[in-house]
Structure 1
Amino acid sequence: MNKILLTGFSGFTGRYILQFAVQMGLDIDCLSEDGTPKSKPINLLDYYSVRERVRETRPTSIIHLAAISHVQHEPASDFYAVNIGGTRNLLQALSELPSSSLTNNIFASSANIYGNSQQMDLDEKTPLLPVNDYGLSKKGMEELLFLWKGKIPITITRPFNYTGRGQDESFLIPKIVRAFKQKQEKLELGNLKVSRDFSDVRFIASAYLTLACKKSSFRILNLCSGNLISLEDVISTCSALTNHKLEVISNQKFLRKNEILKLRGNKTEMLKCLGYESAYSMRDTLTWMLSKEA
C-alpha cells in the first residue's frame, strides 16, 4: 500500500492532489507551513521537526511542493533558504528510512530554470540558464538532489506554467480571468509579448500522483503541454467565452526584470513515463475558470 507524504498542501496544487488521492483510494498525509484542518504544521527549516514528521508518517513516497514560488517574492534570500535548505532537511530525514521502503520521491523544480533558452522545444537535456533568484534556487535544489542519487529514489519534475481555479490572482491568468468575470473595461498588464506552455492544474496533480506510485531510481521529467500560447491568445479566448471585450494596456510598472519571453516544453519523456498527456486544452481550462463556482 502506497503511503504518500505531501508537503506544501496549503498551496495552489496541494488541494487538487489531496482531492484526487482520496478519489483514487490512496493513503496520503499532508503538511503545510501553518497547518490546516487537513494538514499538519511543518517548518522545513527546522530539521528536527522535519525528521519527526517523516518518522511519524513513514511514507513510501513523498511529493515535495513546499517552496517560495512567486518570482517577485521579497526578500530574495528566502528562495535559497526554503527551496534549498528546506529540501536538504527533508532529504536527510528520508535517508534515515529503510531505502527498500521507498517507492519514489517527487521533488518539484520548475521550467523557469531553462531561462531564455534559444532552443525552441525545451527537453530535459537543455542547458539550465536561470535568469532570476527563483530559477537559480531551483537549479541549486536540483544540484543538491544529484548528491543523493543512488541513495533514495528521486524524480525531479520541471513543471511549465499551469493554472486553474484557486490560483492566486497575483499570477497572470487568474488576473485576466478576474477582469473578464468582473466585466472590467480596462486591464493593465506587463509585457504583452510573452508566450508560455500552459497546463491545467488537474493534469499536474494527476501526474504527481502517478509518479509517486511508480518505482524510480533517478529521473528528470518535464510536465508540460508542448504547446506555446501567447498572452493575446488567452485574452482573445476569454473574450470569446464571455462575449466581453476589454482594453489591455502594457504598464511599465508591471514589467518584470529578466522576463522570459518564450517557454515551451518537449513532452516526449513525460509521455514515455506517464503514458498519457493532459486531456485539457487551454480553452477547457479557461472555460472552467470563468464558470461560476460549483
Structure 2
Amino acid sequence: MKKVLITGIDSFSGTHLSSYLQNAGYDVYGTSLFLSGDKKYQCDITKKSDLLIVLKNVKPDFIIHLSGISFAAFDTSEEFYRVNTIGTANILDSLLELGLNPAKVILASSATVYGNQGLEVLDESLCPQPTNHYGASKYAMECLAKNYFEKLNIIIVRPFNYTGINQQEHFLIPKIIKHFKQMKQTIELGNIDVSREFNDVSYVCEIYKKLLESSVASEVVNIASNRGIKLLDVIEMMQEMSGYKIEVKVNPAFVREGEIKSLTGSTKKLFKLIGEVEQKEFKETLREMLEA
C-alpha cells in the first residue's frame, strides 16, 4: 500500500480526503495541530522540528499539504504568512534535509490568488492579483514553492469553492443549510444574482487522487468545474427540498461593489492533465447536507 501523508487531516477537506483515499486502497497518515492518534501526528508546520519527526517516521510516498489558515476573515494578518507561506517552505526544506523525494507533493493554494481580474472564467495563464492576506499568503507560497520544482515532484493546485457535509458554518453553503434546518424565517445574504462555483467535496477528492496517480509535476492547476450556480438558485433548490420558503434579505455589507455576475474556473488545463472528471448534480450535494 502506498503511504499518503495529509497535513491538516482533521480539517473539512482532510477528513473527506483521508476517507476517500483509504477507500481507494491508500495507507493514509496525517498531521493535526491539536490531536494525535492512530497514524495521526500532532504537528505544528511552523516548527520544522515537528515536521522532521513526522517525515522521518512516515517516509511518505505521497504528500497532500492541506494544512493552513483557510478562512479569509481570520483576525491576525501575520499568521496567514507564518502558517500558509513559511509552513509550506518548512515542509519542502524538511524533505530535502532528510533526503526524501515523494512520488508527488501536492500543495493546496487557492483560487483566491486570482483576485479581481474582471473576467468570468479564470485560467492559470492569468497573473495573480490577490486582494487579501489569505490570497497573498497563498500566492507567496506558490512563488517560493516554484523554486523547489527541480528538486521535488510538486503540483500546486488552486481549488475554487467546494462544499459538503461537516463544512464549518461560517462558509456560505453551510450557513444556508443551517438556516433551513432550523427553519429560520429570514436569511441575510449578499448579491443573490451572482453565479459562482460550489463543487462537491467528493469531486475535489477524485481530482486529488487522479493528480497523485498522474505523471504531472512542476505545474500549477485549477481544481475547478467551470460550473456556475446562482445563490438564488441555491435558495430555490433548498425551498423545494425543505417544503418551506425563507425570506432573503440583502445585506449591503455583504455586497461587493462591481461584483462580477458569473465567476468560474477554467478546467481546460486540469482535464488535459488528468482527463475529464464528472460530479453529481449540486441539488444532490445540498440534499446530503440537509439530511446529515
Q: What TM-score do you get using the length of structure 1 for normalisation?
A: 0.93
Q: Aligned runs of 1:177-192 on 2, under 5 Å?
A: 177-192=177-192
Q: Aligned runs of 1:32-51 on 2, under 5 Å?
A: 32-38=32-38, 39-51=40-52
1:96 alignment partner in structure 2: 97
Q: Aligned runs of 1:224-239 on 2, under 5 Å?
A: 224-239=224-239
Shift of 1:195: 2.7
Shift of 1:96: 2.9
Distance in 2 between residues matched to 1:88 and 1:260, nearest whole Å:
34
1:206 alignment partner in structure 2: 206
Q: Verify the 8 A CA contact 1:103 1:216 in the aligned structure 2.
A: no
Shift of 1:212: 2.1
Distance in 2 between residues matched to 1:97 and 1:60, nearest whole Å:
14
Shift of 1:176: 0.3
1:108 matched to 2:108 = yes
Q: Verify the 8 A CA contact 1:116 1:261 in the aligned structure 2.
A: no
Cα-Cα RMSD = 1.9
Distance in 2 between residues matched to 1:181 and 1:124, nearest whole Å:
38
1:72 alignment partner in structure 2: 73
Report the count of equivalent residues.
291
**Percent of matched pairs sharing the same residue:** 36
Structure 2: runs of 5 or more not aligned: none
Shift of 1:98: 4.0
1:161 alignment partner in structure 2: 161
1:83 alignment partner in structure 2: 84
Which deviates the most, 190-199 or 13-22?
190-199
Q: What TM-score do you get using the length of structure 2 for normalisation?
A: 0.93
* Partner SS state of residue 12, structure 2: coil
The aligned amino acid for 2:88 is: T
State the Cα deviation string for residues 186-243 of structure 1 (Å, max 9, x = none): 1122343443112101111222122223333311111111111121111111112212
Q: Aligned runs of 1:1-294 on 2, under 5 Å?
A: 1-38=1-38, 39-98=40-99, 101-254=101-254, 262-291=262-291, 293=292
* Partner SS state of residue 136, structure 2: helix
* Partner SS state of residue 94, structure 1: helix
Q: Verify the 8 A CA contact 1:194 1:260 in the aligned structure 2.
A: yes
Which deviates the most, 56-65 or 89-98?
89-98
* Partner SS state of residue 148, structure 2: coil
* Partner SS state of residue 119, structure 1: coil
The aligned amino acid for 1:52 is: I
Q: From the superposition, tell whether residues 258 and 37 of structure 1 become closer, same or farther in structure 2 (CA, over 3 Å).
A: farther
Q: From the superposition, tell whether residues 217 and 103 of structure 1 become closer, same or farther in structure 2 (CA, over 3 Å).
A: same
Which deviates the most, 86-95 or 275-284?
275-284
Shift of 1:256: 6.9
Structure 1: runs of 5 or more not aligned: none
Shift of 1:24: 1.2
Distance in 2 between residues matched to 1:68 and 1:236, nearest whole Å:
32
Shift of 1:109: 0.5
Distance in 2 between residues matched to 1:153 and 1:115, nearest whole Å:
27
